[in-house]
Amino acid sequence: MGAYDAGSTAGAERLAGALQQGGLEAHVTPEIRPEIWKKLILNAATLPTAALTGMNAGALAAHEQMHELVSETAREATAVARALGYEIDADERVEYIHTLLERAGPTKASMLQDFEAGRQTEVDVINGAVVKAGDEAGVPVPLNRAFVALVKGWESMQGREA
């Protein structure tokens, strides 16, 4: 956690201290926006992939073609973050994501759970955000754009259009 705009992290430090006293792990960073982008990259690469295939985390990690799709989607989103000035290493993100998927094993992604329950997803604020930022930064994002279209198509067929 940290301050959204450059400034004091005093509030974040107080919150982290309270969480730590409660037995939870908490870290404070002076630059939170790169951390937000790291989480966005993870979600953009894994959530629609899991939802559209029905695969849990472990299956995504183990399936060769899905492994590659997750990797390339993460690299695409990382290119957008870097164009915006965030120092995020694409290789680190890809390795982190695949390690997390392997550890998560049978866990179902939230977007897959939305699909299974027939709910509208958060694709607009995940992959849609990558597409918007990519367009603004002049970075091509064909995979993220395709995921938005595919998930929106599914939502349309479910009567869940926004």
Convert the pLDDT of each residue in 4-26 to its tens digit: 776 777 787 888 888 888 999 88
Catalytic residue check, 39: yes
> Could you give the domains of the chain?
1-30 (no CATH), 32-157 (1.10.1040.10)
Rg from Cα positions in the chain? 17
Q: Look up the pTM and report it.
A: 0.89
Residues 6 or more apart whose Cβ sits within 8 Å of residue 34 = 81, 86, 87, 88
Task: Provide the pLDDT for residue 162.
Answer: 60
Among 39, 108, 132, 152, the active-site one is 39
